[in-house]
Amino acid sequence: MSTDAKQALQIANRRRWRRTVVRHSILIGWGLIIMFPIFWMIQTSFKDAHEWVTWPPHWVPQDPTLKNYEQIFTFDVQQSGVAREATEQPFNIWGAVADSLIICTTSALIALFMGAFLAYGISRFNVGGGKFRHSVLIIRMIPPIVIAIPLLMYYAIMVPLASETVLGFRLSLFDTQFGMSLLYITITLPFVIWMMLSFIDEVPYTLEHAARIMGAGRLYTLRRVVLPLVASGMVVTFLFVFILNWAEFLLSLTLTHPDVSTLPVLLNKFQSASEGRLYGPQAAIGTVITIPVVVLGVLIQKHLIKGFSFGTIRK
Amino acid sequence: MAQIGLKEVVKKFGDFVAVNGVSLDVHDGEFLILVGPSGCGKTTTLNMISGLESPTSGEIIIGNRVVNDIEPGERGLGMVFQDLALFPHMTVFENIAFGLRVKKTLEPDIDRQVRAAAEAMHILPLLGKRPAQCSGGESQRVALARTIVNDPSVFLMDEPLSSLDAKLRVDMRTELKALHERLNATFVYVTHDQAEAMTMADRIVVMNGGLVEQIGGPLDIYDKPASRFVAGFFGTPTMNFLQGEIVAANGALTFQCEHIEHFLAENTPDSLAGKQVILGVRSEHVVVNSGGQQGQVKLIEPLGDVSLVFFESGGQEQLVAKVAPELRFSSGDQLTFGFQAAKCHLFDFDSGTRLN
């Protein structure tokens, strides 16, 4: 090899190496920015009160403690030792976990079931006309804060009033798991339809035609051909909707109390007039809330990768 | 009983007329090929037979019953699609078994029938694989096995060979024809490839613009095309077309255009005299090194068994002759040529219909 060629190769190598370093530095930097709040939340959950807000900040707990966890998992707020900094409001983390799990899971499942069939109808039969697929998302353009109070009115007054007039007894959607599930189904359904549309559109028509020619009915074809092909998409959609519900705060805050409480609302209860925000217990709840989502994500990782990369069905 | 009848079938998509009044009969056990350029309505016609599309008007009859309102699955048909439509999430076995499972066939019967179909198509070793793991030719066989296993009396095929490479396509043609012989079923096959139509069909239906241009045996269509369109569609290279007038002189009819004068066959009707026509002649019916016309060679395409000589004769159109490979020409050479009178086709200048 001539010296020129060697030099050119060296320069090219150096350039490639430099580009790699720059690219990775940017990614690592970005990753740190993204991950920092999570790191801060987790490490705060292991700090005692005097370390929550210090200047200069303590990057890691100097005095690690499980007190925050003890506090949030304790039913009896009066119990000595842990009761001191506890909220003045009654709380029950296991109740909130149950409420959150029941509300989020059922509403995501029902929305997914309905949305998959609706999307199939829109994709294959052009239900609602050509622009319908775009207009389903319009509901998402209304900020939740705008509808929160009217909904409260509806849930707490209109429905009980109507049921008392018509049925003779008072039926309330306010502060019930049923009411919250109904609301979550309604507000996430457009997302489900939108996401499922993109998956179902990917399934070639001819597969269904082939099945029909072989004598399969619509539902059989849907069950044996279409749904298995969009299974990954359904898993992704379920997770997406589940997380939306899991983290929803405003509507839950407005429409529940005191019987039903979801985890984000419970988290917010950890403050008191005398102590201000209880960052430690809040961070502990935040950490606990994040775990199911991460576990779910890891469990269905295979589907996630498949579902997030569209065009997975070989035509 | 598997004859199929179409009576004045029309299919409109909004304002667009895809099929504009097609009538045809498919005989029991026949290999009928619908051929035509893209958008001519051949696939739509096939889809109406299958029941995947319903006709806007007209009747479709399979056996002795009108099937317009009968579900595709109840028409006793099998169909192979252009993209084969194998279910990607099922194994080859499950793909083939699909139709049997729909019919709730017993498990041991399914196993036996699937294996028999797979054996017939030589794909036994593939049964455990997924369609994505099969090659183009293998997928083709899987699609055929999946159709055969349901034992339909009519096979519909929508350009099933279009995804294969040239060599495999030719092999599969032979195989399909053998399959037709063996099954003794009615085949209705759609293609845009005239060679495919010529080689496999008992009868060919040539379609253009939603209408049937001609129905006939492969050689009938080749030798006596009913219109200029059919003449141009069949045969490679494309038939030579010359635009001119028929002139009566000395008791004989001649075709005259700018630079060429050609005596027409004796059986040409006298009534054509004075008409503006298009003369069509296939490259193999152009005689070179004899005849009274002068031309200049532009391009040679040696194919081995024959050579194609493209030449000009003063006019706008380039003509092509199929000549024996021993005749060596090179670009720029002068040649004399003529047309075999009996093999010339005359088409009406305006409508394109056949005149002689």
Determine, for residues B98 and A212 on separate chains, whether the beta-carbon distance falls below 8 Å.
no
A206 → closest Cβ in B81, B146, B150: B81
Determine, for residues A210 and B85 on separate chains, whether the beta-carbon distance falls below 8 Å.
yes
Q: For A91-120, give the DSSP string.
A: --HHHHHHHHHHHHHHHHHHHHHHHHHHHH
B351: pLDDT strictly greater than 50? yes
Best of B62, B81, B84, B159 to mutate (most A CBs within 10 Å, chain A): B81
Q: What is the pLDDT of residues B173-227, one digit of tens each?
A: 999 999 999 998 999 999 999 999 999 999 999 999 999 999 999 999 999 999 9
A100: pLDDT strictly greater than 90? yes
Nearest CA in chain B to A210: B85
pLDDT band at A266 (very low <50, low <70, confident <90, very high): confident
Distance, CA of A164 to CA of A14 (rounded, Å): 79
pLDDT band at A73 (very low <50, low <70, confident <90, very high): confident
Determine, for residues B85 and A313 on separate chains, whether the beta-carbon distance falls below 8 Å.
no
Distance, CA of A42 to CA of A37 (rounded, Å): 9
Which pLDDT does position A226 carry in this prediction? 94
Distance, CA of A95 to CA of B285 (rounded, Å): 93
Using a CB-CB cut-off of 8 Å, the residues of chain A touching B73 are 212-217
Distance, CA of B283 to CA of B318 (rounded, Å): 12
The predicted model gives A257-272 an average pLDDT of 85
Residue type, A136: V
| Neighbouring-strand partners of residue B61 | B5, B66
Determine, for residues B99 and A220 on separate chains, whether the beta-carbon distance falls below 8 Å.
no
Percent of chain A residues topping a pLDDT of 70: 91
User: Which position has the higher pLDDT, B257 or A183?
Assistant: A183
Using a CB-CB cut-off of 8 Å, the residues of chain B touching A303 are none
Determine, for residues A213 and B78 on separate chains, whether the beta-carbon distance falls below 8 Å.
yes
Residue B182: other Cβ atoms inside 10 A? 10
A77: pLDDT strictly greater than 60? no
Q: Minimal Cα–Cα distance from B298 to chain A, Å?
A: 45
User: Which position has the higher pLDDT, A252 or A306?
Assistant: A252
Q: What is the pLDDT of residues A111-142, one digit of tens each?
A: 999 999 999 999 998 888 888 888 888 877 88
Nearest to B218 by CA among B82, B79, B30: B30
Predicted-complex ipTM score: 0.83
CB B336, CB B321: distance < 8 Å: no
Determine, for residues A229 and B82 on separate chains, whether the beta-carbon distance falls below 8 Å.
no
Q: Minimal Cα–Cα distance from A205 to chain B, Å?
A: 9
B339: pLDDT strictly greater than 70? yes
- Work out the mean pLDDT of chain B and round it to a whole number: 92
Residue type, B313: S
- The answer for residues whose C-beta is within 8 angstroms of residue B264's C-beta and 6 or more apart is B246, B252, B253, B254, B255, B341, B344, B346, B356
Which pLDDT does position A94 carry in this prediction? 85
Q: Minimal Cα–Cα distance from B79 to chain A, Å?
A: 7
Domain borders along chain A are 3-87, 93-308
Best of A214, A224, A312 to mutate (most B CBs within 10 Å, chain B): A214
Q: What is the pLDDT of residues B70-113, one digit of tens each?
A: 999 999 899 999 999 999 999 999 999 999 999 999 999 999 99
A21: pLDDT strictly greater than 60? yes
Q: Per the structure block, which two tokens stand in for A243? A: 């997380």
Torsion angles phi and psi, residue A259, rounded to 5: -70, -50
Nearest to B127 by CA among B90, B99, B152, B80: B90
A87: pLDDT strictly greater than 80? no
A86: pLDDT strictly greater than 70? no
Nearest CA in chain A to B50: A213
CB B234, CB B196: distance < 8 Å: no
pLDDT band at A75 (very low <50, low <70, confident <90, very high): low
Q: Minimal Cα–Cα distance from B306 to chain A, Å?
A: 40
Determine, for residues B103 and A210 on separate chains, whether the beta-carbon distance falls below 8 Å.
no
Residue with tokens 């994040």: A290
pLDDT band at A313 (very low <50, low <70, confident <90, very high): very low
A163: pLDDT strictly greater than 70? yes
Nearest CA in chain B to A205: B85
Q: Minimal Cα–Cα distance from B136 to chain A, Å?
A: 12
Output the CA torsion A211→A215→A218→A222 (10° steps): -40
How far are the Cα atoms of A95, A156, A236, A255, B247 from residue A183, in angstroms, in the given order? 20, 14, 21, 10, 86
Q: Per the structure block, which two tokens stand in for B68? A: 């317009």
Q: What is the pLDDT of residues A203-212, one digit of tens each?
A: 998 999 999 9
Using a CB-CB cut-off of 8 Å, the residues of chain B touching A210 are 79, 81, 85, 87
CA atoms within 13 A on the CB side of B266: 0
Distance, CA of B178 to CA of B184 (rounded, Å): 10
The predicted model gives A290-309 an average pLDDT of 82
Nearest to B249 by CA among B263, B238, B236, B233: B263
Residues of A with CB under 8 A from a CB of B: 204, 206-207, 209-217, 220, 224-225, 228-229, 313-315
Nearest CA in chain B to A220: B102
Inter-chain CB pairs, A–B, below 8 Å: 61
Q: What is the pLDDT of residues B24-49, one digit of tens each?
A: 999 999 999 999 999 999 999 999 99
What angle in degrees, to the nearest 10, is found between the helix axes of A279-299 and A93-125? 40
pTM summary value: 0.80
Structural domains in chain B, CATH included, are 4-232 (3.40.50.300), 239-348 (2.40.50.140)
The predicted model gives A176-182 an average pLDDT of 94
According to CATH, the superfamily of the domain at A93-308 is: MetI-like (1.10.3720.10)
The predicted model gives B278-286 an average pLDDT of 94
Residue with tokens 């889809």: B47
CB B264, CB B244: distance < 8 Å: no
Which pLDDT does position A310 carry in this prediction? 56
Which pLDDT does position A83 carry in this prediction? 47
Best of A213, A221, A225, A315 to mutate (most B CBs within 10 Å, chain B): A213
- Work out the mean pLDDT of chain A and round it to a whole number: 87
Distance, CA of B298 to CA of B311 (rounded, Å): 5
Q: What is the pLDDT of residues A29-59, one digit of tens each?
A: 999 999 999 999 999 999 988 888 888 888 8
Using a CB-CB cut-off of 8 Å, the residues of chain B touching A130 are none
Determine, for residues B83 and A315 on separate chains, whether the beta-carbon distance falls below 8 Å.
yes
Determine, for residues B71 and A212 on separate chains, whether the beta-carbon distance falls below 8 Å.
yes
Determine, for residues B132 and A314 on separate chains, whether the beta-carbon distance falls below 8 Å.
yes
